[in-house]
Structure 1
Amino acid sequence: MTSEKIIGTFLDFYRERGHRPLPESTLVRPPDDPVLFTTSGMHPLTPYLEGRPHPLGRRLVNVQRCLRTTDLGEVGDDTHLTVFQMLGSWSLGDYGVPQSLRWGYELLRDGFGVPHDRLHATVFGGDDQVGPDTDSLELWHRLGVPVELTGRENWWSNGPTGPCGPDSEIFVWTGDTPPTGTPGTDGRWMEVWNHVGMRYHRHSDGRLEPLRRPDVDTGVGLERLEMVLRGHRSVFEGDGFEPWVRGVGGLWQPDEAELRLVCDHLRSSVVVMADGVRTTNTGRGYVLRRLIRRTLTTLWRGDPARSLADLPGEPFTRTLDQFRQHADIDELRGLLLAEERRFRDLLRRGRPVVSRLLSRGLLRDEDYRHLHDTYGLPRELVDGLVDQAA
């Protein structure tokens, strides 16, 4: 099942159940939003999850591009990405979490063909403020799906304050053997879908206030779902990464970890730039700059002569198509190359500084901080300069 087919199946399922398609939002958040980028499908819906009536009604569905800098350290494993697509459905004061979970179960089983015996669920077991989610627990028992109670793992919020509530997560078995264990004991259980009962507003002092109107917010990552449905070993085998893996791998033959990071960061950079972001030293522009420079740092560890100018055009075109964006590919390539030139110049000026520090002995943490804060040299690139000087 291709990624396009997955999206179509998801949207059609919810349309048939009265959900109105919601227009996709840009990654760039409005000036009054303290968060720089859209981090989830529910992010643009926050005012409506807090009670404002939505002009499209009480049942909504969409696909939304998202960016999470919190996952940068995990990019390169089998499942984490910087930019990804989120399939989402919402009930704004309409049906409850049990109905949402039942539909989720039916879509996975009948729409996507996931066998019943390869499913597992987790449910919020309660804490000192909120009791266990017995409604979701009873629903999974009725459906005959194995379920376990957890703690904070099944509590969802989009930040330290704002709408939040208990969630139920659906896992699919990805192993080659019959399912064993639980999501907490066996990593072959892959989380694919999160159904959140938005019941509370958390205040800055940690106090929970019940929302006037409980809502339901669900989200499933397209790339992760595609990985599960197609039996891939990682998200980097999916449609969205095929042209990047082929292009980057064919050019430079990096090892697996380097290939994944470079493909993720380049793909993410294209999506971010297509939404109008340009490199700067602060805010969104700094995130973009960091993605590009992490890419170059990784590539230049293997060969300092490598250049983004050698990238083929197909990955750019395919990425814009997959994320439903319109941008001039030559302009995007020009932006990448301009940042590459700036970074090369930075390294040229930084190399003698690193050499002077090394003449005094091994670099200390304060040396790394000085090089980063004064010269913009990331630690991993300084380590590369140290290796070259050895």
Structure 2
Amino acid sequence: MDINQIRQLYLDHFTEHGHQIIDRAPLVLNDDATTLFTGSGMQPLLPYLLGADHPAGDRLVDVQPCLRSQDIEEVGDNRHTTFFEMLGNWSLGGYFKDEQIRFAWDFLVNKVGLDPARMYVSVYSGDQSLEISPDDESAQVWHELFSAAGVSTDRIDLVTEERGNAEGSGGARICGYRDKNWWSRGGGPETMPVGDPGGPDTEIFYYFPQVEHDKSYGEHPHPNSDGGQYLEIGNSVFMQFQRTENGLSPLPRRNVDFGGGLERIAAAAIDSPDVYRVGTLAPIVSRIEELSGRAYDDDTEAMRVIADHVRGAVFLIADGVRPSGKEHGYVLRRLLRRAIRFAHAIECFDGTLESVADAAIDAYAAAYPTLDAARTEILGVLAKEERQFRRTLGKGLRELRRLGKESRPLSGADLFTLYERFGFPVELAAEEANRLGVDLLAGWRADFDTAMERQRQMSRASSTLGT
């Protein structure tokens, strides 16, 4: 099933169950200073999860583009992206665990067609020290659904990811975790920010037997491992608590917040552990293959980085972000320069960003017509940024290699020189140093930040003198 079909199928499925479709939020939330970008579907809905009435009612559904810049260095494997689409449905004080789990099952198994024998789930194992009980209610609903489908329902409480890595799950269908199955914006129940909602969650994973478990993530596989065999495709959060100065307090009403990774569900639907094979990313990768004259299977990491970063940049520019040295603009510039760096490595030269972005807009235009409407502007921004960075990229790389031959660890001052003279983002310089096997001095980041602050002070002083 194609990813565009799944997107529409999801909206149809939940409108059939009385949900109202709400508009997507922009990637930059001007009224939320806690984060640079919209990183989940629940962010714009936080006031309603805390008790306010939503104008569209108490059953909502949407597809929300998200961007998580903190994942930028994870991009390159088969599952991580900075930009992604999140399927979301909410109940604001209405249905709860039983109905939500059945809604999710019906969509994934009966609508998308996923094999229930390859689905595994996790539930909250409880915390005795905080007097929070295990989520036996969710486990029982999963038991009923799997049993009706003729699938075994063994259960194990691993409690921690570390224990799972050391012992494995033994193929258990339902796994209990403590920290992994409590959702809040600040971690477990004891570290939630005061005022924030949270609660236990139940996650859904799809199993890929064709993938060899990566033991660098632990000796044994289990659903909540990053070893590669299990891919998380959805998470139902049962928000029933709010953190106060005195601990956890029940919310005025219990809420459901479901988030499903559209690309990951689409990958499961085509039995691929690689999200870059799905219908929106595959055409972008194909364009990179054409530009480079190379095959995806031979330069996988580079093509994944370019495809993800340019796609994310397209959506950011459409939502009004422009490359700069500050906040949102800095992240956009970092995405673009990182994409150019990887393009340079596979011999994709001038015009790469425009061409790849053109393919990205084509892939998403049907679902997001504003991208097509802004195509000329988007491509113009990318062309200008690429021209500027290409001028100094080669010089910066040569300087970094020269410094690397001096048989000494590089300092923060060295990286600041690369930034100041060649516009080389510090994160990109650090990545490239690691790629070249060049050591960095301990504390290099603090030294770089000190040099940056000194430059800002000099700039402010110069500006004051000139007024």
TM-score for the superposition, normalised by structure 2: 0.75
Distance in 2 (CA, whole Å) between partners of 1:235 and 1:147 is: 25
Distance change in 2, residues 1:126/1:372 (3 Å): farther
Instruction: Please state whether the residue corresponding to 1:311 is helix, strand or coil.
Output: helix
Q: Which residue of 1 aligns with 2:258?
A: 218
State the 1:43 CA deviation: 1.1
Rounded Cα–Cα distance in structure 1 between residues aligned with 2:224 and 2:353? 45
Q: Which residue of 1 aligns with 2:237?
A: 196
1:158 corresponds to which of 185, 207, 216: 185
Q: How does 1:1-390 map to 2 (within 5 A)?
A: 1-127=1-127, 128-129=129-130, 130-143=132-145, 144=147, 145=153, 146-159=173-186, 160-161=192-193, 162-175=196-209, 182-184=222-224, 187-203=228-244, 207-252=247-292, 253=294, 255-303=299-347, 305-308=349-352, 311=355, 313-326=358-371, 327-347=373-393, 350=396, 354=400, 357=403, 361-371=407-417, 374-375=420-421, 376-377=423-424, 378-379=428-429, 383=433
By how many angstroms is 1:40 displaced? 0.7
What's the counterpart of residue 449 of structure 2?
none
Give the counterpart letter for 1:317 in structure 2. D
SS at match of 1:76: coil
> Which residue identity is paired with 2:320?
G
Q: Shift of residue 228 of structure 1?
A: 0.1
1:119/1:371 CA distance change after superposition, 3 Å: same
Contact 2:302 2:346 in 1 (8 A): no
Kindly provide the CA deviation profile for residues 74-131 of structure 1, in whole angstroms up to 9, marking residues without a partner as x.
2121111111111111000001122201221122221122233222211010123232
Q: 1:163–1:200: 8 Å Cα contact kept in structure 2?
A: yes
Contact persistence 1:247–1:315 (CA under 8 A) = no
Deviation readout 1:20-42 (Å, 9 max, x if unpaired): 11111111111443211111111
- Cα displacement (A) at 1:195: 0.4
State the alpha-carbon separation in 1 of the partners of residues 105 and 71 from structure 2: 28
Give 1:49 deviation, angstroms: 0.4
2:163 paired residue number = none
Which 10-residue stretch deviates more, 41-50 or 326-335? Answer: 326-335
Which residue identity lines up with residue 24 of structure 2 in the other structure?
A: E
Aligned length: 384
Deviations 1:163-202 (A, max 9, x none): 211100112223259xx97414774232211000011223
Shift of 1:305: 4.3
| Gapped regions of structure 2 (runs ≥ 5) | 148-152, 154-172, 187-191, 212-219, 438-467
Task: Letter of the 1:260 partner, please give it.
Answer: R
In structure 2, the residue corresponding to 1:164 is in which secondary structure?
strand
